[in-house]
Chains A and B, each alone.
Chain A
Amino acid sequence: MASQREIKRRIRSIKNTAQITKAMQMVAASRMRRAQQQVTDTRAYAQHIRGIVADISRRSGADDHPLLTKRDGGRVEIVVLTPDRGLAGSLVVNMNREAVRLAERVGGDIRVVAVGRKGRDFALRMRWKLVAEFTNVGDHPEASVVGPVAQQILDDFENDAVDSVYLVYSEFVSTLRQTPRAVQLLPVVAPEQAEEDVPQLGGPWNYEPDDPQAVLSALLPRYIEFTMYQALLETKASEHSSRMVAMSNATDNANELASDLTLLANKARQAEITKEIAEISGAAEALRTG
């Protein structure tokens, strides 16, 4: 049995760790609430811009817009939205696995635009070609942070450097569930919208200027930027909730370990006392008989 002092030192160290993980849990919880709110706040815009893109991409003269046109060729750009920091449970691992699955599915020549340090590190480990990286986007990003990322992929696509662009992010399902997702950004796949939804949204609309191409040229870059912004917020909410759960588990484990060790320490102390009593009474007995 380990000595009492040794056990006590371990208990102290574990309790310190538990305090730290508890603090991290609280911080993550408050960030998660704010991030969730941010996700909710994008819904109004999401509904309208999807409705417009769905409506206009169905119209004649829209299907040959360059950003909607499918290209042959296997040059693929993948935008990976990941956290900057670790200690978020299995989130990063799951996202990286999704990126690998996507890369295997689309095949071809892969290049990566990394948003977040974890994705960048993984792309380097996989020896994927890293064309751009954006780190330190913060815990509660504004819409303007995705501007440069969107510009990068639009430039690459328009300059015919790549044939398609995908996005890997984490969908925030609930505090306990985050699902990694891979979606196609370019060429733009118009969102599905049932015909019966259209009258409810007020469509079909007249467009001014009455030229689908011109409207699309203004609309699609915004749509891509917004899709990316929403995905970034989802990823942030996932990150904070995943970290909160991981840290809560760590705190529980540490407390459990500390209580096991306390039991062990008490046993060791008891054994020590028993031994001392035995020695004293043994010595007393020896004195009396001797």
Chain B
Amino acid sequence: MAPIRLEVVTPERLVLEEDADIVVARGADGDIGILHGHEPLITPLATGELMYRAGGEERHLAISGGFLEVRPDKIVVLADLAERSEEIDRDRAEQARQRAEAALTENRGTQLEAEAAASLQKALLRLRVAQQRRRHERPGPRTEA
């Protein structure tokens, strides 16, 4: 299987540019997996995890909102925010989760509830993606080239 070029960009920077065997993203209607030769597609992304496999290794990113642009040989993720798992500071992510939980309890039933829930969701996502880092050392099943 030919690799597909994966590019992750945010308004602030180019986060990642790498060849991947498969990319799995969290679309607005559920997970979507993309291989080389996928038809051209544009779809909104939800807040969630983006996984790609390169060289038999699974790698993870935390993505919050944006768009997925698919070309036959290239995938471009236009994310509002994107962080690679190894970039995430686990302690700070944990603090962010606690803050978000406190904010949610405080604002329950008010207009701010949805916003607080969204930031809690983001904090949990970052924590989950940060945990994935350990798996990098253990190579996953190799895909046939």
A contact residues vs B (CB 8 Å cutoff): 38, 41-42, 44-45, 48-49, 52, 56, 142-143, 201-209, 215, 218-219, 222, 225-226, 229-230
- Which chain A residue lies CB-closest to B66? A222
B contact residues vs A (CB 8 Å cutoff): 7, 9-14, 27-29, 39-44, 66-67, 69-72, 74, 76, 78, 80
Are B67 and A219 in contact, with the CB atoms below 8 A?
Answer: yes
- Which chain B residue lies CB-closest to A225? B11
Are B27 and A208 in contact, with the CB atoms below 8 A?
Answer: yes
Sample 8 A-B pairs with CB under 8 A, ordered by A number: A41-B14, A42-B11, A48-B9, A49-B67, A201-B71, A202-B72, A208-B41, A209-B43
Are B43 and A41 in contact, with the CB atoms below 8 A?
Answer: no
Are A206 and B67 in contact, with the CB atoms below 8 A?
Answer: no
Q: How far is the CB of A199 from chain B (nearest CB, A)?
A: 10
Are A222 and B40 in contact, with the CB atoms below 8 A?
Answer: no
- Which chain A residue lies CB-closest to B43? A208
Known contacts A205-B40, A208-B43; A45/B72 CB under 8 A: no
Instruction: Give 19 A-B pairs besides A143-B12, A218-B44 with Cβ atoms closer than 8 angstroms.
Output: A41-B13, A42-B11, A42-B12, A45-B10, A45-B78, A49-B67, A49-B78, A143-B11, A202-B40, A202-B71, A204-B40, A205-B69, A206-B40, A208-B43, A209-B29, A215-B43, A215-B44, A222-B78, A225-B11
Are B41 and A205 in contact, with the CB atoms below 8 A?
Answer: yes
Whole-angstrom distance between the alpha carbons of A203 and B76 in the complex?
A: 13
- Most A Cβ at <10 Å: residue of B71, B72, B76: B76
Are B69 and A207 in contact, with the CB atoms below 8 A?
Answer: no
Are A202 and B69 in contact, with the CB atoms below 8 A?
Answer: yes
Are B67 and A52 in contact, with the CB atoms below 8 A?
Answer: yes
Whole-angstrom distance between the alpha carbons of A205 and B28 in the complex?
A: 17
Residues of A within 8 A of B40 (CB): 202-206
Whole-angstrom distance between the alpha carbons of A48 and B21 in the complex?
A: 22
Residues of A within 8 A of B72 (CB): 202
Whole-angstrom distance between the alpha carbons of A219 and B69 in the complex?
A: 12
